[in-house]
Structure 1
Amino acid sequence: MADLYTVENLRLSLADMTRKPLLGAAPRLEILKGLSFTIPKGAVVGIVGGSGSGKSTLGRVLVRLLEPSGGRVSFDGVDITHLDESALRPLRRRFQMIFQDPMSSLNPRHGVGTIIAEPLRLHQFDDVAGRVARALDHVGLPQGFAARYPHELSGGQRQRVGIARAIALEPDFILADEIVSGLDVSSQAQVLNLLERLVADLGLTLAFISHDLSVIRRLCQRTIVLHQGVIVEDRITADLFADPQAAYTRELLDAIPLPDPDQVWA
């Protein structure tokens, strides 16, 4: 299977504003420390780690919302590491992001139809109305929802709108960043089922960021475990749960509540 993403020795450092001196530049804080991995086309890859592990920062580098400090990121054979915005624009349609908080990522002054149509118009798609209708159908929302506003929707419905906006552009890759963490258990299951179906029906490649290994186990074929900006495991998900190699992975697994106190993950 060909690789959609190839990441080599990826590094990213940001100014540490909590330690800004009175004179001179703020010291640099290293967030990502030499990461190397691939994401094959059609794969569902989990990126997991605790708070401060660098997982969301890594996601933003993959879709070039952040520019790396070093290393190389290739998307479908194109080096996007330091492309300027004019060179990135034709590629942006092909990698999309779904955000953790749909309410903050959806314009409250626009109806759902306008929200989904906006990136289609930006990328100069034809038949915008038809594409909006198909996107709503793909995520299981009635066509009448096009006239509704974000505040009129439940959390799960708002997240479906975010997914519809992403898939309307017919991307190759979607980054989902903690998109079920704010939902109740029932809505979480529905969104995960929807993502599974969309991956199969649309041939998507998906990277799913989460702090919750139980969600990763449910959805992802392969899991990358990040700790303090370093990859500590990159393995088939079933193998990782059966025999975690890193102490940090075992800590994450031990933190998952089990319905049966005698149950073990293996």
Structure 2
Amino acid sequence: MMYDIANLELSLPDLANKPLLGKAPRVEILKGLSFQVPKGAVLGIVGASGSGKSTLGRAMLRLLEPTAGQIIFDGTDITHLPEEHLRAMRRRFQMIFQDPMSSLNPRRRVHGLIAGPLKLHGFEDISKRVAEALDMVGLPAHFAMRYPHELSGGQRQRVGIARAIALRPDFILADEIVSGLDVSSQAQVLNLLGDLVRDLGLTLAFISHDLSVIRRLCTRALVLNQGKIVEDADIADLFDNPQAAYTRELLSAIPLPDPYQAWV
């Protein structure tokens, strides 16, 4: 099992309502979430804005520390693992962020963006690994010398993917990574992720507000609403026989029965 999560809770300071003196009140974001992610799975995490899906993703990677509950990653309890012990594990779980322009240092060339984490984790043959990563995401070798602003949105997202897979992780979390792309670029990135999952044996969690995207890529999905899991089902069951009223609302918001049909 790649992830075994039990009764996960997480609260964050409500800075908007912080008094002039004293601590900010805390707002409960995640409310008793329990689920498992088998090795090799492609899990969708779906919900409307504010449902807690991105917070859940960051908690899974210990970018946020849970208030209660347990996170087991590949047999190791990382719930409150100190950073000095967690650092050695971080190569094994990587994140691809929604906005590549904010996650890619604009002052560094693509080579440096991918090479940085490799150096941090003590890899050798850095240039070779950078070239291999670019090749795996379908970018020519000369892109290594470009800056992020010289790339299209889809190309920047491919660089983000290359930076993650260069470390040869076991698990990748992708947070709304196609939401800012046009339809054609979305299709290309989703196809690329599917190929990488198959070729590299990755376990993937894909966060999206769009069920049609989840259907295109994932085999199973968690539906979140107000910090709770309202449905956990295989994709076919989710679309053919949704159990939660909230899931049916999300399905009814899809503008076409299958907007990805023309891409396949």
Which of 101, 104, 113 aligns to 2:102? It is: 104
Shift of 1:23: 3.5
Shift of 1:21: 2.3
Structure 1 segments of 4+ aligned residues over 4 angstroms from their partners:
none
Shift of 1:27: 1.4
Matched residue, 1:12: 10
Matched residue, 1:166: 164
CA deviations on 1:186-213 (whole Å, 9 max, x unpaired) are: 0000000000000000000000000000
TM-score by structure 1 length? Answer: 0.96
In structure 2, what residue type is equivalent to 1:88?
Answer: L
The residue matched to 2:51 in structure 1 has which SS?
A: coil
- 2: CA distance between counterparts of 1:113 and 1:96? 18
The residue matched to 1:31 in structure 2 has which SS?
A: strand
Which of 48, 63, 71 aligns to 2:46? It is: 48
Matched residue, 2:228: 230
Residue 37 of structure 2 corresponds to residue 39 of structure 1: yes
Q: Counterparts of 1:173-188 in structure 2 under 5 Å? A: 173-188=171-186
Matched residue, 2:123: 125
- 2: CA distance between counterparts of 1:223 and 1:64? 21
The residue matched to 1:90 in structure 2 has which SS?
A: helix
Residue 1 of structure 2 corresponds to residue 21 of structure 1: no
* Count of aligned pairs between the two proteins: 258
Which of 149, 152, 155 aligns to 2:150? It is: 152
- 1: CA distance between counterparts of 2:21 and 2:110? 48
CA deviations on 1:72-99 (whole Å, 9 max, x unpaired) are: 0010000000011100011000000000
Report % sequence identity: 76
Q: CA RMSD, aligned part only? A: 0.9
Change (3 A) 1:133 1:244: same
- 1: CA distance between counterparts of 2:166 and 2:16? 40
- 1: CA distance between counterparts of 2:141 and 2:45? 34
- 2: CA distance between counterparts of 1:258 and 1:116? 38
Matched residue, 1:217: 215
Gaps in structure 1 of 5+ consecutive residues: 261-266
CA deviations on 1:149-190 (whole Å, 9 max, x unpaired) are: 100000000000000000000000000000000000000000
The residue matched to 2:20 in structure 1 has which SS?
A: coil
Shift of 1:115: 0.5
In structure 2, what residue type is equivalent to 1:12?
Answer: L
The residue matched to 1:93 in structure 2 has which SS?
A: helix
Gaps in structure 2 of 5+ consecutive residues: 259-264
In structure 2, what residue type is equivalent to 1:251?
Answer: E
TM-score by structure 2 length? Answer: 0.96
In structure 2, what residue type is equivalent to 1:41?
Answer: K
